[in-house]
Structure formats: structure tokens, C-alpha cells
Amino acid sequence: MQRPLIVALDVHQKEVRDRLLETFKHDSIYMKVGMELYYQEGPRIIEQLKKDGHHVFLDLKLHDIPNTVGRAMKVLSSLEVDLINVHAAGGRKMMEAALEGLEAGKPANAPRPKLIAVTQLTSTDQEMLTDELLIKEEIAHVVSTYAALAKKSGLDGVVSSALEVPLIHEVCGEDFLTVTPGIRRLSDAKGDQKRIVTPMKAKELGSWGIVVGRSITESIDPYQTYLEMKKEWEEGK
């Protein structure tokens, strides 16, 4: 698969979401379904997106005891999403249980969803890491350590800021998937994300995939903005 630009479908109003999806009806693209949308709509939103020919990243960031996560992943695997995640802070046993659950729950002859782990949220900066989470290490070291743990656990990749991608590849290899949220155009407001980059910068840093939300979904012409950002992502200009 080409390195994807993933559109974050974080739109809670159904009529607005339906209009947005209508603009992509002739394209097969990657869509991210996050907590709010999944908790609101449940499996039917996944079924709708798959029926319309889209790839799906189910972004629930599971983080619980290993048995619970494993059983949850067994259920979610039956939805046949393409990409799904956990939080690396849950530890190796939890990540291994998640992988086992995905394998056990997928339909016969269907590929296992790729499993990636969140390292640190893009809303986390060094001050928050130190003062609130009481982690004294540099954020880049924490991210690369979590990434290495995810790889040892058998996962396919991680979610991280593009700023940490070169270090992750150095530690985990170039084939280890790196999915980067916090993507904005230079003209966009940062919102609540602190470690953000442009599509071009993410490409330069080696991200495998990027996640774009409000820059597309809140633009005057979402489809045109998608095409422009996709071109920047794919061509680096």
C-alpha cells in the first residue's frame, strides 16, 4: 500500500459527517475513526466506510490489563479494519495480548489488522511529561523506548510525532511503521496539539503515514484541501 494520508473523521454531527463523506464518494481513501465517533455510532460506521470502499484506522488507543485488551481486540478484529492501536504504556504483555486477540478474532482468510502503539500524544510536551506524568527522561528517549518495546512485542509500528520518526527508525528499522498525527498546513492554527509538522516535513522525516483532521474537515472545500495536502505529502512540494 502507498504511504497513506489518513483523514480523521472526528465530526460528531451526522449531517456534517454525511456531507463530508459525500465529497469522497468517488475515492477510496484512508479514514480514521476515533473514540468519539466510534462510541457514538459503534460498528455501523466501520461497516459504512468499508462498504464505501475506504480503508479504516480504528483509533481507540486501548490501554487496560492484558486480558481485557486481548478480548476487546478479538471483538474489534471481526470488523476487518486495516489499522488499529493500543497505548504502549500498557506494557509488553498487554501489547502481546492485543496481537493475539487480533489474530484470534479475524475472519478466516482475512488479513490481520495492522497493530500500532501510541508512544506519546502530540498534546504532550516536555513540561507536561516531567511535571504531570513524573517522567524525567527526554520525550524523544521515552518515545524511542516505547517504540522499541512495541517492536519487541510483535507490533507493526507506532503512532508518534514526525519529530521522533528518524530516531524510531534508527532504533526499530526503516520497515517499522510510523503514523504521524498533528499534521497541519503552515496557515492552520495549532489547536491543542503542540508537536505539529506539515505534510512535507513529515515526508522529509520519514513518516509512513500521516493523519490530518481539522485542516481538511473544517476547511471551506474539504476535498480540494485533501487533494492539495495529498499532493504535498506524496510529492513533497
User: Would you please indicate which residues are annotated as catalytic (active-site) residues?
Assistant: 59, 61, 64
Task: State yes or no: 13 annotated in a binding site.
Answer: no
52 marked ligand binding residue: no
Assign 134 to helix, strand or coil: coil
Whether 191 and 178 have beta carbons less than 8 Å apart is answered as: no
Is residue 87 annotated as involved in ligand binding?
no
Establish whether 74 is an annotated binding residue.
Answer: no
Residue 186 in 3-state DSSP? Answer: coil
203 is in an annotated binding site: no
Residues 6+ apart with CB under 8 A from 89: 63, 118, 146
Closest CA to 35 of 58, 69, 54, 66: 58
* Residue 85 assigned to a binding site: no
> What phi and psi, each to the nearest 5 degrees, are found at residue 208?
-80, -40
Instruction: Confirm or deny that 10 is annotated as ligand binding.
Output: yes
124 is an annotated ligand-binding site residue: no
Q: Which three cell numbers stand for residue 198?
A: 506539515
62 annotated as belonging to a binding site for a ligand: yes
Determine if residue 64 is labeled as part of a ligand binding site: yes
Q: Which grid coordinates belong to 1?
A: 500500500
User: How far apart are alpha carbons 111 and 90 in whole angstroms?
Assistant: 25
Has 59 been labeled as part of a binding site? yes
Residues 6 or more apart in contact with residue 173 via CB below 8 angstroms: 151
* Residue ranges of the binding site: 10, 32, 59-68, 122, 184, 193, 213-214
Binding-site residue numbers for substrate are 10, 32, 59-68, 122, 184, 193, 213-214
